[in-house]
């Protein structure tokens, strides 16, 4: 890689689906209309993922059904409001890989299973693949070793599954409004799915573990709701084995411009580390070592020293000393005045 060239972020999923950029949106936030999808397509995102749909239209849960704290987490219990998959599949073809999620409820939707959509090349689907389309599964977060192993063993049996998205929200979280002394959202007595920065480390663990357990030909895509908000977050996901990375909560808060920013940040990291493509470090998370820990400490120390030098150059050191010691001098003067007064009073009394 030359110093002037940009590292390649391209990746391939489903065996032959090529993406120029391994970063794209998660379903849900800002994906419910063709205009919203067009804005994603105009960004640096490598694909466009439409909002999840059911076969039949549904209105979703009562409002308010979402809550967010930008720096901490988001909570939702939307109930998947949508116009039905046929309406959403009416989005016209564009020059980006369309990617659609359909959820089936067998008892309700069984008679409507057949679907076709010009331009849709991937379905994310819960139960089975539809003829002519690649399929994937969207996984919940797992926390125990046997659960990882059992889920992977089931998925590995189905050759129709080409990739797995990990993770969905952490279920049954609760946010309390202290002022009103009630839940922050209305549905399900306030219980909802947790997403955003608070679950990033759970998402990293799930991506790494699933990459270890799934068949090699099944791509793992992180994270959907796992707190991806920077190039460094994406770098970590790819180190853990992600073939591509979805951005959800950050896209909800920042809008499609987040893809341009995150893409640039990832390329800057790759340039600094000497990587020319994401393939060079995908799945190559190193085991912990004393040498690695020392390297990380040195980097943090050097970064802190650089910040200190930058801050101290803003004003002469003697000015900083004067600013810091002036209050101390004032206190000393007051104390001296009090002492002098007490001495004078004592001398008068003795006289």
Is 83 a member of any domain?
A: yes
Answer for the pair 120, 133: CB distance below 8 angstroms, yes or no.
yes
Tokens of 78: 């939307």
Shortest CA distance to 17 belongs to which of 168, 139, 120?
120
Residue 310, domain extent: 286-315
Report the number of distinct structural domains present in the chain: 3
In 10 A of CB 7, how many CB atoms?
19
Beta-bridge partners for 75: 67, 194
Is 3 a member of any domain?
A: no
My answer on whether 191 and 225 are in the same domain is: yes
Answer for the pair 214, 156: CB distance below 8 angstroms, yes or no.
yes
My answer on whether 326 and 226 are in the same domain is: no
**Would you give per-residue pLDDT tens digits along the chain (351 residues)?**
544 589 999 999 877 788 999 999 988 778 777 788 889 999 999 988 888 777 788 889 999 999 988 778 899 999 888 877 666 555 444 454 444 454 434 334 433 333 444 444 444 543 333 344 567 888 999 999 999 999 999 999 998 888 899 999 999 999 999 999 999 999 999 999 999 889 999 999 999 999 999 999 999 998 767 789 999 999 999 999 999 999 988 998 899 999 999 999 999 999 999 999 999 999 999 999 999 999 999 999 988 766 666 554 444 434 333 444 556 666 677 777 788 777 777 777 776
CA pair distance 253, 256, nearest whole angstrom: 9
CA pair distance 351, 258, nearest whole angstrom: 82
Q: Residue 72 carries which DSSP code?
A: T
CA pair distance 307, 227, nearest whole angstrom: 27
Q: Residue 83 carries which DSSP code?
A: S
My answer on whether 298 and 246 are in the same domain is: no
My answer on whether 241 and 146 are in the same domain is: yes
My answer on whether 260 and 210 are in the same domain is: yes
Is 242 a member of any domain?
A: yes
CA pair distance 180, 29, nearest whole angstrom: 27
My answer on whether 333 and 280 are in the same domain is: no
Is 1 a member of any domain?
A: no
My answer on whether 298 and 240 are in the same domain is: no
My answer on whether 191 and 297 are in the same domain is: no
pTM: 0.76
């Amino acid at each position: 890689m030359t110093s002037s060239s940009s590292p390649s972020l391209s990746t391939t999923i489903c065996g032959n689906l090529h993406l120029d950029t391994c970063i794209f949106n998660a379903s849900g936030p800002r994906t419910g209309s063709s205009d919203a999808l067009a804005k994603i397509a105009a960004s640096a995102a490598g694909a466009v993922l439409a909002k999840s749909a059911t076969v039949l239209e549904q209105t979703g849960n009562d409002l308010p059904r979402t809550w967010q704290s930008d720096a901490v987490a988001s909570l939702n219990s939307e109930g998947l409001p949508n116009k039905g998959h046929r309406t959403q599949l009416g989005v016209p073809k564009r020059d980006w890989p369309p990617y659609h999620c359909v959820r089936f409820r067998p008892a309700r939707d069984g008679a409507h299973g057949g679907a076709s959509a010009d331009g849709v090349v991937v379905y994310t689907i819960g139960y089975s693949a539809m003829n002519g389309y690649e399929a994937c599964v969207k996984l919940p977060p797992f926390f125990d070793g046997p659960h990882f192993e059992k889920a992977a063993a089931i998925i590995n049996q189905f050759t129709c599954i080409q990739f797995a998205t990990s993770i969905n929200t952490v279920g049954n979280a609760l946010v309390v409004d202290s002022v009103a002394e009630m839940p922050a959202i209305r549905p399900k007595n306030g219980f909802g799915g947790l997403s955003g920065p608070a679950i990033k480390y759970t998402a990293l663990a799930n991506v790494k573990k699933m990459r270890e357990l799934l068949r090699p030909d099944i791509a793992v895509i992180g994270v959907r709701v796992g707190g991806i908000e920077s190039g460094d977050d994406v770098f970590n996901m790819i180190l853990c084995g992600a073939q591509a990375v979805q951005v959800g909560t950050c896209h909800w808060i920042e809008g499609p411009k987040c893809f341009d920013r995150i893409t640039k940040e990832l390329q800057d990291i790759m340039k600094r580390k000497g990587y020319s493509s994401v393939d060079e470090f995908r799945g190559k998370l190193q085991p912990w070592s004393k040498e690695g820990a020392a390297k990380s400490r040195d980097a943090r120390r050097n970064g802190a020293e650089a910040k200190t030098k930058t801050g101290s150059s803003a004003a002469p050191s003697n000015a900083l000393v004067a600013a810091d010691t002036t209050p101390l001098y004032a206190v000393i003067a007051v104390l001296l005045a009090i002492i002098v007064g007490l001495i004078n009073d004592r001398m008068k009394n003795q006289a």
